[in-house]
Amino acid sequence: MDIKKKAFIKAYAESFGNISISAKSAGIDRRTYTNWLKSDEEFKAAIEAIEPDDLIVDFAENALMKKISKGDTTAIIFTLKTKGKKRGYVERQEVTGADGAEIQINLIKKK
């Protein structure tokens, strides 16, 4: 594979899927990127294999864990409220039906 394509793919992953940053880093314009997607199946497959949303979540989780390890109270509280619900770390109770389904409430209007 072409060195500029490799550079683009690397920058694409590092920039969480930002095409403009990746193109600038590889020394190409956006049209070249689009043309590569259309004409090069190997390049297209490499781009599709990179899942920017998952990379962002991984990056954020890593940053959160670093804050927790340094004793950041806000990060600790956030994690307990989101990951520690089963242990009672909640501010409000959520009431659901069977298997977490939404509860249906039927109101009867009086005449």
Token couple for 46:
């490499």
Q: What tens digit of pLDDT does each residue of 2-44 get?
A: 999 999 999 999 999 999 999 999 999 999 999 999 999 999 9
Q: Give ∠ CA 60-61-65 in degrees, rounded to 5.
A: 120
Total count of residues recorded for the chain? 111
- Ranking 33-37, 45-49, 97-101 by mean pLDDT, the lowest is 97-101
The whole-chain average pLDDT of the chain stands at 88
> By the 8 A CB rule, do 25 and 8 touch?
yes
C-beta of residue 44 within 8 angstroms of C-beta of residue 37: yes
pLDDT higher than 70, residue 93:
no
Average pLDDT over residues 45-74: 93
CA angle 100, 102, 108 (to 5 degrees): 145
Q: Which residue has the higher pLDDT, 98 or 16?
A: 16
pLDDT tier, 90 (very low <50, low <70, confident <90, very high otherwise): confident
Please say if the pLDDT value at position 111 is more than 70: no
Q: Which residue has the tokens 């009431």?
A: 95
